[in-house]
Amino acid sequence: MAISIAILGASGSVGTALGAHLLRSGLLEPQDRIQLVGHGNPKSDARLLATRIDLLDAFDDSRVEVEVVPQIADLDADIVVIASGVGISPQCTNRRDMGAMNLDLFCEIAEQCAALVPDSLFIVVSNPVELAVQILCEKLDRKRVVGMGAQQDSLRFARAIAKDLGVSRHQVRATVLGEHGLGMVPIWSSVELTTPQKEADAALETLRKTSEQIDLRERVAFLQRSVVALLEKEKIAEAYEATRQALPDARIFIEPFITTHCMRSTPNATANATLHIIAAALVDDHRRIHGQVMLEGECFGIHGAFGIPIELDRRGWIQRSIEILSISPLENAMIEDSARSIRRFLDEVTAKGQTAIL
């Protein structure tokens, strides 16, 4: 049976990159479809029509259908990727502003998807990821909603470690839990090499022990201050060099901040993490991925949106409980802090939205 994947926000940098990553991946078969979903206005339609032809010119050998869907009300897809909304810009510089500006859009998307395609799998790319996951789960089956932020953060953590060890990221498994933001929790106790090597194993143990010497939040705050000072002078190379010298767990907080400062987005990294989640759903081979999901106490006793290891197929997600058995007391305390931080943030944004309505 043919698969249809809809991309909401397909005219943006992440949506466009995702279309290219999907067509290049080989995941889709002839007659499968990618739907580029617009905003219901001529400018959006024109951009998507041009994007469609550009993608076909590059990737039509695969014979995957690429079609423009003028608005959400016209979509019909098995997997819906939500990449719509306001991102970081001079007018929107933090997660709280982003949440306030995207709240109504998330509510509209949830309403329309619940009416049109309630049995689809929903992958949230839009930020704040936790807010979008919460809003969608108010209208849809929570098991069918996954935010991609934890997968992106886990890939970044694995890459940072691999770089310091001098190995490929394919040889490193790593997990980041919690928020897709400053409340994320890199889990050193989860890190393992898939092909053990004596020197690399020893270097990994050194990284672990070094990370315990100074609290992660202190290291992140110090690095952030240093990088902000450099960015104010547009010293981009120096800012990246400052992150390179930091430990991997601190590096993953700040390095994307520099990239976003320069590009207003991280289109290819975000598209790649989203592709990992789509691949897990389509292949259904019980691989470990990570995602922000709406918990009801089944993991760490948390109720709310939170990033955890999961398995995924087209029917939804299940928890990878075996992945949480080795959490250290320090990591557990950070997880509790992250859950509280997410809850406060979501309460503030939704309360502000309700006040605006009144």
Domain C-terminal end among 95, 115, 148? 148
Buried b (16+ CB within 10 A) or exposed e, 60-97: eebebbbebbbebeebebbbbbbbbbbbbeeebeebee
Co-location of 40 and 153 in the same domain: no
Co-location of 57 and 122 in the same domain: yes
Co-location of 129 and 153 in the same domain: no
Co-location of 81 and 211 in the same domain: no
Which residue range forms the structural domain that includes residue 343?
149-358
Co-location of 59 and 194 in the same domain: no
For residue 283, give the CATH number of its domain.
Answer: 3.90.110.10
Domains in the chain: how many in total?
Answer: 2
pLDDT tens for each residue of the chain, 358 residues long: 899 999 999 989 999 999 999 999 999 999 899 999 988 788 888 999 999 999 999 999 889 999 999 899 999 999 999 999 887 777 777 777 888 899 999 999 999 999 999 999 999 999 999 999 999 999 999 999 999 999 999 999 999 999 999 999 999 999 999 999 999 999 999 999 998 788 999 999 999 999 999 999 999 999 999 999 999 999 999 999 999 999 999 999 999 999 999 998 899 999 999 999 999 999 989 899 999 999 999 899 999 999 999 999 999 999 875 556 578 888 999 999 999 999 999 999 988 765 554 4
Co-location of 45 and 110 in the same domain: yes
Co-location of 249 and 319 in the same domain: yes
Co-location of 115 and 192 in the same domain: no
The radius of gyration of the chain's CA atoms, rounded to the nearest angstrom, is 20
Co-location of 111 and 199 in the same domain: no
Can you give the pLDDT at residue 323?
58
Q: Which residue has the tokens 């905003």?
A: 39
Can you give the pLDDT at residue 324?
60
Co-location of 80 and 119 in the same domain: yes
Domain C-terminal end among 148, 177, 208? 148
What are the structure tokens assigned to 128, written together?
A: 């704040």
Can you give the pLDDT at residue 321?
57
User: pTM for the whole thing?
Assistant: 0.95
**Separation between Cα atoms, residue 132 and residue 292, nearest integer Å:** 10
Domain C-terminal end among 148, 177, 194? 148
Co-location of 134 and 15 in the same domain: yes
For residue 93, give the CATH number of its domain.
Answer: 3.40.50.720
Co-location of 155 and 23 in the same domain: no
